[in-house]
Structures are given as structure tokens and as C-alpha cells.
Amino acid sequence: MHTAMYLLKRGDHVVGVDNMNDYYDVNLKENRLTELTKFEKFSFFRFDIADQERVSALFKDHGIQRVIHLAAQPGVRYSLINPLVYIQSNLVGLVNILEGCRHNNIEHFVFSSSSSVYGANSEIPSISSHSVDHPISLYGATKKSGELLTHSYSHLYNLPSTCLRYFTAYGPWGRPDMAPSIFTKAILEGKPIDVFNHGKMQRDFTYVDDIVEWTVRVLDKPALPNPAFDSSNPDPSTSHAPYRVYNIGNQQPIDLLTFIEAIEKALGMTAIKNMLPMQAGDVLATFADTTDLQDNFGCQSPYSLHTGVSRFVDWFLDYYQVSNTHECMSKSRLAARSLYYEIVPV
């Protein structure tokens, strides 16, 4: 949504595709869509990218020039219980999009990968040229596979392609199954927060506007072959084909407890913390090295944790119609209020 909004505001025509499935709150998805349909240059199609015929027809009918592929089945833990959904969306769907690019002379294909590809590689910070051959979640494995598929199309069909490894995106309109929404909801309801690995986790929390800015900068500069590519000592982040890989992160890993404190400060409330051990599929820390991204696309000043969390909390309170938390909301008032999934947002 944020990326589409950015492109629309600068005057681009945007064609959006989403199956609007019920993995999380469909009302949230519909309300995002409502914000985008206010723009005349936005067209939307409701179908699954795993539907090859629909994807092919979309490319043929709309004169698409560039593609930002953000569609995927997200979530590390959900992949442990429903793996086939990830194969359909993240692999079959991706190949359908790549086929559309191949047959329609797409100028640049930008693929949203993930920091999850680093998996068991514990070297910090994560550099795009590091080995990512040991993902520890099915979700991470599908994203690594997506990078490989993208490179093969870049090599075979000379398709300029860039893979972006996003690090822990957060911000307004964010998914309700992600930590910022889960934590904010629990604090407001006076319920405990599950804090895994006893709070000793670190995440490179990256505000959504920073991610969008980098994504569009990359989109506007199609990948080129690397003339210095050495096939006897290959760099995984570049190629003899028009293909590149970059990290997109804040370069400032934050302790989970520090992130919770920022939400507490924004709400004016204190969290109840339930300290738990590490979960299967989780990594101890994520930390993006974005040196090559900045070298090639210019520097930008990322949002501070305080600013990003404050903007998210302001949106959350407004969207879910929560009254001012600084008015000493009592537990009885909170209990009487239907929060989050139950309320009907504006």
C-alpha cells in the first residue's frame, strides 16, 4: 500500500494485484485498498498470482513497464504449520510474475526478499554478499529460492532484476500479526506480552517510509551486469547478468525490550511482560549492512525509533478508535471497549 501510494503521488500509473485472503484481518486490507482507489491512476485486480492465466492476461492488457513484486505469503511461524500455501504463493506465484516479465519486455523487476534468508548465518552485520545457503524457516527458504529463480530469469532472458532483503518493516497500516500491533494491543488491554528469548532478541526495525523510499530509488535505476564479476569467486549479490541484491534496513539493531519501551512511552502505559525461551525458526539478531545500497542510490536519513513508533501508535489509536491513553484509561473502560479484530474501523 505504502509503495503504491508513493508512486501514485508522484504521478505514476499503478496496477495492483492482491487475492485479499484472510491470513489476517481482511477489513484492514479493504481499508488500505480504499485509500488507493482515491487515485485515478490506480487500477486494482482481485485474484491470486498463482493463477497463471490471470497473471499472463494482466501483463498483456495493461502495458506494464516495471514490476515491484511485493506479493507473498508472509510469516515465519505460520510456515511451520501451513507450508503448501508458501509454495503456491512464494514460488508458483513468483514464476508466473517472472514469466509475465519475460514475455512483455519489462524494464526492471524488483523482488521483495527478506532478512530471513540469512538464517543460520550468524555473522553480524548481514552483508548482501554473505552466504545464505542455510535458511532456518520455510518462509526464508522460499525467499532464498525466489532470489535464485529471479537470477535465472535475469541470466536466461536478460531481465534486469533487483532483490531487496527487507529487515523488520513496521509502521502505519502494518500487519496485525507483527510485533508492533501485537504489543500495542496487549498493552492497551492490560494483557501480558510474550517476550521470547527473555528479551535478548535484536531486530533491525525499519520504518515503512524508509523502505518505500529505497524501493522506489532502486526501481528507477534498473540493474546492470557487473563487468568485474568473477565466476571463479562469485559474489552472490551481483552477477554477469543484470542482477543485484541489496539489504534494506535501519542499520541500528534494537533490543526487543527497547522497542517495547518505545511503545510504552508513546502510549503512556506500562507493559506486562511474559518472558519466554527462543522460538523455533527465530534468529537471535538481525542487522543490515546497507553500504552498497547507499553507494549506488545515495544516502538518506532513516526515521528514528522514537519517531517511527510514535507515528505507528498515533495511527493505531486513530484507526482502531482508541481514546486518549494519557487520560488514565481504567481496565474496566478497556474491557468494555472492543479492540482490534472486533471493532469496526473508520
Q: Cα dist. 69→108, 176, 252, 302 in Å?
A: 11, 21, 26, 23
Instruction: Kindly state the average pLDDT of the residues 267-294.
Output: 87
Interval 58-110: pLDDT, tens: 999 999 999 999 999 998 888 888 999 999 999 999 999 999 999 999 999 99
Q: Does residue 240 belong to any structural domain of this protein? A: yes
Q: Does residue 66 belong to any structural domain of this protein? A: yes
Interval 161-193: pLDDT, tens: 999 999 999 999 999 999 999 999 999 999 999
Tell me whether residue 139 is one of the annotated catalytic residues: yes
Tell me what pLDDT residue 301 has.
81
Contact criterion met (CB below 8 Å) for 165 and 201: no
Which CATH number do you get for residue 136? 3.40.50.720
Task: Compute the mean pLDDT over every residue in the chain, rounded to the nearest whole number.
Answer: 91
Contact criterion met (CB below 8 Å) for 161 and 111: yes
Tell me what pLDDT residue 324 has.
52
Q: Does residue 346 belong to any structural domain of this protein? A: no
Q: Does residue 97 belong to any structural domain of this protein? A: yes
Tell me what pLDDT residue 331 has.
43
Q: Does residue 324 belong to any structural domain of this protein? A: yes
Least confident of 24-28, 73-77, 220-224: 73-77
Q: Does residue 82 belong to any structural domain of this protein? A: yes
Q: Which residue is catalytic, options 78, 118, 139, 207?
A: 139
Tell me what pLDDT residue 344 has.
36
Domain count, the chain: 1
- Which of 62, 87, 59 is CA-nearest to residue 73? 87
* pLDDT at 44 exceeding the cut of 70: yes
Tell me what pLDDT residue 343 has.
36
By residue range, what is the domain housing residue 313? 2-336
- Which of 180, 172, 193, 188 is CA-nearest to residue 326? 188
pTM for this model (two decimals): 0.90
* pLDDT at 120 exceeding the cut of 90: no
Cell numbers 526464508 correspond to what residue? Answer: 140
- Name every residue whose Cβ is closer than 8 Å to that of residue 82 and which is 6 or more positions away in sequence: none
Q: Does residue 342 belong to any structural domain of this protein? A: no
Q: Does residue 345 belong to any structural domain of this protein? A: no
